[in-house]
Structures are given as structure tokens and as C-alpha cells.
Structure 1
Amino acid sequence: MSQAISTPVSYETAGEVALVRLDDGKVNALSHEVITALHQALDRAEQEAKVVVMIGRPGTFSAGFNLKIMQAGPESARDLFRAGMDLFLRLYEFPIPVVAACTGHALAAGAIWLMSCDVRIGADVDAKIGLNEVAIGMVLPPSVVTLARDRLSVRHVQASVLLARLFSPASAADAGYLDRVVPPEDVEDAALAEAAGLAEGLSLAAFAGTRQVIRGPVAQSIRQMLDGDTRSFTVGLS
């Protein structure tokens, strides 16, 4: 049964799997409204499902935060950054597995979103994935760097964070943004199959407990950084 939560976020269930889809018809920019709708979808999934699949639109998973909001002034940028990081941290610690169907480009906050998920399946398309902040004049906050160090391949952290290296889907799997890449027509089915296998094969109580063992200390560190990161967050202009 499918039921829209709010445009452009929709929610449906397929057996024990919750499908959360973001499709704004453009670049899947993250605004306060979108972030709120994603939280609402996660609220439902936590009650109704054993695994969540988060799906982008064809060609684009997410190009990051809404630029109009980010460029509206320092407070506006800081508020949206904090809202996004609170969402990503929730995903990073979510009590059930989260599978991402990365349908294309995933830049800046879109790449952070991928790093927050458990299994990331990418479409083999002409797309760019990565943290491009340094290239556009932004200093990456410590909270984001901490997440990158935890989720990316150690061989690629410096290039990803410091050099703003962007990856094709195939090379993004080597870097750690993705776990595997499939033909674009298969990406959603592959994500659903992965989710169904996790729903059947995992004890959710054991999963949630072990997640806290492995991710709890990192999440605590990120939380301790977020107030300072939010106060100092600025949007680059060059």
C-alpha cells in the first residue's frame, strides 16, 4: 500500500520493507520541508518495517542542501546544516537497517546521506559522487570529517575530504560511498532484494544493540561537535 507523506517524499511498504522515495523532479535538494518529510517517513518505518530503502530519482540521488536556503544568509545556512546533520545522524544510528538506492549524482549533503546508510547500491550511470565542499570554498566541519573517516575507505579519506575528489559510481564503491554498483534498470530491485534479505536474516534486537557498540562512540563524538560546527558553519562563495 502506498501513501504519500508530502511532496516530493513518498512512503510505501513492501512486506517488511519500507520504501522512502525522494523525487522533486529536479536535483532532489534537501530543504527543511524535505527533511521533515523524511523524518516522518522514518517515524513510520520504525513502527511498520524491519528495513528501510531510500530511493532517489532517475539520474540523481541528491545534489545536497537547497542552495537558495544556504545562500539566504548565515543563520539560514546554519539552520539547514544542523537539520540535515540531525537527519543523517538519525540514519547513522537508526534501529533498523537502511539501504540506499543511489540512482545517480550524490554531492555534498547527498554524499553525507550515503555515508549515513548501511548498504549503498549505486546505479552504473554517468554520475558524480562525493564531497565537493572544498572545491566551492567551504571548510568541511569536523562532524562531517568524522563521519567520512568512519565510513570511507582509509585510502580515499584524504582525497575525498581535502581534495574534494568526485567519483563515478564504480570508483565510489572503491572509495566507500557505495557498496556495489548495478545497471540503472536494476538498482531499485537490487536494493529491495538486499533489504528483504536483511529483514529475513537479521535479529533486529541484536542489530540495534550491535549498532550502538560499533557506531555509538562515533555518534557521540559527532553530537559533541555539532553545536560548534553549526555556530561556525559558513557557505563558500568561491
Structure 2
Amino acid sequence: MKSYTQHFPSESAPLVRLDFNGDTRIWVLTFLGKETPDNRLTHKFIAEGLLLALSHVEQRWAEMLNSGESDQGAALISTGGTDASAKIYSNGLDFEKAIEDPSFFDTHLNNLYEKLLTFPIPTIAALNGHAFAAGFGLACAHDYRVMNGKRGYLCMNEIDFGAPLPHGLQQALASKIADQRTMRKIVLEGHRFSAKEAFDEGFVDVLSDSPQDTLDKATELAGKLKIKAKMNAWGANKEVVYAQAIKVCRTKHDVATEALYAPRAKY
């Protein structure tokens, strides 16, 4: 298959770059920091960058299946960049603009998390640097995480500025973090996890030494995992493994929130 590079939403005004290696069958989705330098998950970045690129990969994978070219499998890696100056994977939401839009969680953030939680090929977040708040959730919505051990933290800092944690975001975390003591430390204490701490807690899978090494190790891991997608059961099995998180992401945000905060029934 031919290698190619494509930009979304367009080459003239790119938010993300998608590189496909036809030999390895691995896509690399690079966040370009064009709208915000810290790759915040804005309306535009999600809808016109990430979701468009992910839908493109899904379509190309479907074409591989239909043409009988899925024998090697395939995988997707996302990264905030490989330059030495690439300090941030994603710094979360533009919070004020997000909460101004009552449909944002339904049409954008939860839609993005659901897309990754059900993605039909292995996904790996190559964490070149910090992933905060919804950016931490984005990393956890991937199947695996490789993190730069020399720079960056994973953190949910909502507790420090008085923001309630969106249910879909919590479930993106919970899809990979089962230990409630760890979740308490993340959500209620706002602890900043170094790469080593996150690796020891089990929600980072591989440690690396630099942004480039992060992508290299993610590519190595993708090369090992991609064959597991060749029979097209990867996405279906994820729907079983991540069932609760997917259910919440598919539930209207207001409905999920109301259910969480409903008063106890009186008897």
C-alpha cells in the first residue's frame, strides 16, 4: 500500500497531520498546536481536526478489510510532536468556552472519547509531555500509553479550580484505571503523576527518554499489536472491555449528570 500524508481539516489550515506508512500499516496522528499551542480540546480542534482524521482512518481500514488487504492488521498512534521543544500532549479543555455550549460534551468531547474507545484498530497515545484534565482523558481513551519519562505529568486539576468532573471524562479514565485509591488520588487530590508514577500505577505501559523516543517506542508497540486487528474483532472486543465507559459516553451528558446527582429515594 502507498504511504501518504494528509492534513485536517485542510493542507492550507491544518490542525493535525496524519502520516500513513504503507509498509508498516501504521498511522501517526500529530497534533500541530495551530489553534492553541498546548493542543487544547476545543470545539474546532475536536470536530475539524481529531474526529475528521479518526473517521478517515476508520474509512481506510474498512477499505482494507473489503479489499482483502487487512492481513497485516493496522494501528494508530497519536502524538503532540517529536521536537525537543514539544512539552505538551494536550492541556485539556478551553473550559469557559466548553461549558458555555450545553451540547459540547455530547457532540464533541464524549463523541471523541467514544470514537477512540470503540476504534477498530489498536490505538497508542505517544505522550511526549504533559496531559492534563481532558487531555489526560484523551490519553486514557487510547488502548495503550507510551510516556516520555524525562518531561511531563498526567493530572486532573479540576479539583483545584472548583470544576465538577464530567462523567464521560471520568469514565475515560476509569476505562484504564480500576484501583479506587489511585482514582481518589487523581480526582480528589489532583495529584500530578510523573511518567514513572503512572507506569508504577499501571496506566502508562511503556516509558521513554525523549519526544522522539516516545514515538519510536510507540511505533515498536504498534508493530507488535497491529496483527491482532487483522480479523476485525479488535473494536468489537473493546466494546465488551470498555462497556461502562462507552455507555456513559453514549448517554446524553445532562441525563448522565442528573442520574449522578439525583437525591436518594425516600422510603
Q: Deviations over 1:20-57 (max 9, x none)?
A: 11021621111122112111111121133521111113
Matching residue within 134, 141, 151 for 2:159: 134
Query: For the residues of structure 1 that align with 2:96 and 2:151, how far apart are their CA atoms?
Result: 26
Change (3 A) 1:214 1:67: closer
Change (3 A) 1:199 1:149: closer
Counterpart residue number, 2:70: none
Q: Is the 8 A contact 1:96 1:204 kept in 2?
A: no
Q: Which amino acid aligns with 2:213?
A: D
Q: Deviations over 1:167-207 (max 9, x none)?
A: 11111223344212111131111111211222234434222
Matching residue within 46, 60, 63 for 2:88: 60
Query: For the residues of structure 1 that align with 2:42 and 2:7, how far apart are their CA atoms?
Result: 17
Matching residue within 180, 189, 196 for 2:216: 189
Counterpart residue number, 1:34: 45
Aligned-partner SS, 2:242: helix
Quote how far apart the aligned CAs of 1:68 are: 5.8
Q: How does 1:199-218 map to 2 (within 5 A)?
A: 199-218=226-245
Matching residue within 100, 119, 122 for 1:75: 100
Matching residue within 20, 39, 48 for 1:13: 20
Matching residue within 20, 33, 43 for 2:55: 43
Change (3 A) 1:218 1:109: closer
Change (3 A) 1:214 1:31: same
Could you tell me the percent identity over the aligned residues?
25
Q: Which amino acid aligns with 2:20?
A: T
Quote how far apart the aligned CAs of 1:103 are: 0.6
Counterpart residue number, 1:145: 170
List runs of 5+ in structure 1 lacking aligned partners.
233-238
Matching residue within 120, 135, 142 for 2:145: 120
Q: Which amino acid aligns with 1:55?
A: T
Counterpart residue number, 2:198: 172
Q: Which amino acid aligns with 2:156?
A: L
Q: Deviations over 1:95-134 (max 9, x none)?
A: 1111110010000010000110001101112322121111
Q: Is the 8 A contact 2:137 2:170 kept in 1?
A: no
Query: For the residues of structure 2 that align with 1:231 and 1:79, how far apart are their CA atoms?
Result: 15
Q: Give the RMSD, CA atoms, in angstroms.
A: 2.3
Q: Is the 8 A contact 2:122 2:229 kept in 1?
A: no
Query: For the residues of structure 1 that align with 2:255 and 2:156, how far apart are their CA atoms?
Result: 20
Matching residue within 194, 216, 223 for 2:250: 223
Aligned residues: 228
Q: Is the 8 A contact 1:114 1:177 kept in 2?
A: no
Counterpart residue number, 1:4: 7
Q: How does 1:65-104 map to 2 (within 5 A)?
A: 65-67=93-95, 69-70=97-98, 74-76=99-101, 78-82=102-106, 83-104=108-129
Which region of structure 1 is more displaced relative to structure 2, 212-221 or 57-66? 212-221
Query: For the residues of structure 1 that align with 2:52 and 2:172, how far apart are their CA atoms?
Result: 24
Aligned-partner SS, 2:124: strand
Query: For the residues of structure 2 that align with 1:68 and 1:138, how far apart are their CA atoms?
Result: 11
List runs of 5+ in structure 2 lacking aligned partners.
62-73, 260-267
Change (3 A) 1:30 1:149: closer
Q: Is the 8 A contact 2:120 2:233 kept in 1?
A: no
Aligned-partner SS, 1:41: helix
Q: Deviations over 1:45-92 (max 9, x none)?
A: 11335211111131110001124624xxx433x443431121012111
Which region of structure 1 is more displaced relative to structure 2, 156-165 or 112-121? 156-165
